[in-house]
Amino acid sequence: MKFIIKNGTIVNPVKKQHEVGDVVFENGKIISVGGTADVLDAEMYDATGCFVTPGLIDMHVHLREPGQTNKEDIHTGTQAAAAGGITHVATMANTTPVIDSATILQSVQKKIMDTAVVKVSVIGAISKGLQGQQLSGMGGLAGAGVVAFSDDGHYVESADFMRRAMEYSDMLGKMIIDHAEDMTMCQQGFMNEGTMSYQMGVTGRPAAGEALAVARDIILSDLTGCHLHVAHVSSGKAVELIREAKKKGSRVTTEVTAQHLFFTDEYLKEYDTRFKMAPPIRTEADRQALIEGVLDGTIDAIVTDHAPHTNDEKDVPFCCAPNGIAGLETSLASVLTGLYHTGKLSIDRIVELMSVNPARLIEVEGGVLEEGMAADITVINPSVEWDVYGADLYTKTLFTPFEGMKLKGKAVLTVVDGNIVMKEGKVLR
């Protein structure tokens, strides 16, 4: 049946559209974008006062399946994505077992087909078991459909091994997504190294460890020609290095998480494990450098690094808690609250960072509203205010750094292949 999203402000940067109009889809495909559509014999959603955008894409999540389904699974994780207005996610390889062969990948893809609420792409491991010693089955993984390679959660310590991985990845036409923290400097740390960590008496992870790793891997990217994508950049120095590399023509891109744009290490002063992540949230100066990187185009995408843990795992003394938070249901709202409503970012730029560019980087359909394309659409109400409570979220964990906070702006409709998967906060699958 025909469905019309009516009277919304269409934000479609690829087509340079920012205008009030209607979006019509039928049989899973968009049939018109803009103008006024006839509502006869059609279902209708009134999007007055809302933005209608290409479906949001999160290119860095951890759905935890296989093997860690006590933390999250493909169904609950993609329910959380739908609740957050996200129509497509790319999940990382650090599962149990690691997604380091075509056989394991195919079993994950089968589970995705059976249980996912939104579209899911898979990122394959660089090394077997994420050990950084033997290459994964990269050829088989690429042939079976991974969109990139990453040992996320682990830094590839050997420069020679990373060089070989980049050479193979480039031959296969895939990028390397780099968890850039030199663990000889960072492994024993629990938060950003700085004034706050000294006051708290907690061993820190220095920003220099990230900068060293980024610098090394930019050099290796230049040597091999491989597209290097720096995951979850967190420090001003790393942004500076990436900015300069881009100016020189290096094949390097990067992303930032919504939480690194919103919080600083001041939030950890009560030893609150809700804010414990890797790389850590850093100083206000670093946060401002990240925002500047978003504004000037150095940073290509905003992601969640959605990495939930069980409540028992997080509800422990600070230094014992694992790194990682749930972010799929709060990322858009936090960006709207912290950057859109403060006048720092336009909605068009937010759509570029959270839809257009991720689609381009992982080379999937999306990022644009266009006749004949899949009806993957997000409707955003920028004015609605809501209080965040972990118990109300679809993710399995109760722990969110936004607990008890009021955010302004929220996805109110999520459409995947023409199917309404979330409406007014309720996930329908």
Mean pLDDT for each 10-residue chunk of the chain (429 residues)?
Answer: 96 98 98 92 96 98 98 98 98 98 98 98 98 98 98 97 98 98 94 98 98 98 98 98 98 98 97 97 98 98 98 96 97 98 98 98 98 98 98 95 98 98 97
Domains belonging to the chain, first-starting first, are 1-49+371-392+402-425 (2.30.40.10), 54-360 (3.20.20.140)
Q: Which 3-state string (H, E, C) describes 270-336?
A: CCCHHHCCCCCCCCHHHHHHHHHHHHCCCCCEEECCECCCCHHHHCCCHHHCCCCECCCCCHHHHHH
Residue 346's pLDDT is: 98
309 in a labelled binding site: yes
What does the alpha-carbon distance between residue 404 and residue 217 come to, in Å, rounded to a whole number?
39
88 annotated as belonging to a binding site for a ligand: no
- C-alpha count within 13 angstroms, C-beta hemisphere, residue 267: 21
**pLDDT score at 315:** 94
CA 233 to CA 214: how far, in whole Å? 9
pLDDT for 11 equals: 98
pLDDT at 245: 98
Annotation-wise, does 376 bind a ligand? no
Active-site residue set? 305
Tens digit of each residue's pLDDT (9 = 90 or more) over 206-262: 999 999 999 999 999 999 999 999 999 999 999 999 999 999 999 999 999 999 999
> Is 154 annotated as ligand-binding?
no
CA–CA separation, 280 and 155 (whole Å): 15
pLDDT of residue 170: 98
Output the pLDDT for position 98. 98
Q: Is 114 annotated as a binding residue?
A: no
| Three-state secondary structure call for residue 415 | strand
305 marked as part of a ligand binding site: yes
Report pLDDT digits (tens) over 58-87: 999 999 999 999 999 999 999 999 999 999
Give pLDDT, residue 314. 96
pLDDT for 90 equals 98
Angle (nearest 5°) at CA 254 between 276 and 179:
50
Tell me if 52 sits within 8 A of 9, measured CB to CB.
Answer: yes
Confirm or deny that 306 is annotated as ligand binding: no
Rounded-to-integer distance, Cα 181 and Cα 156, Å: 9
Task: Yes or no: say if 212 and 198 are a contact pair by the CB < 8 Å rule.
Answer: no
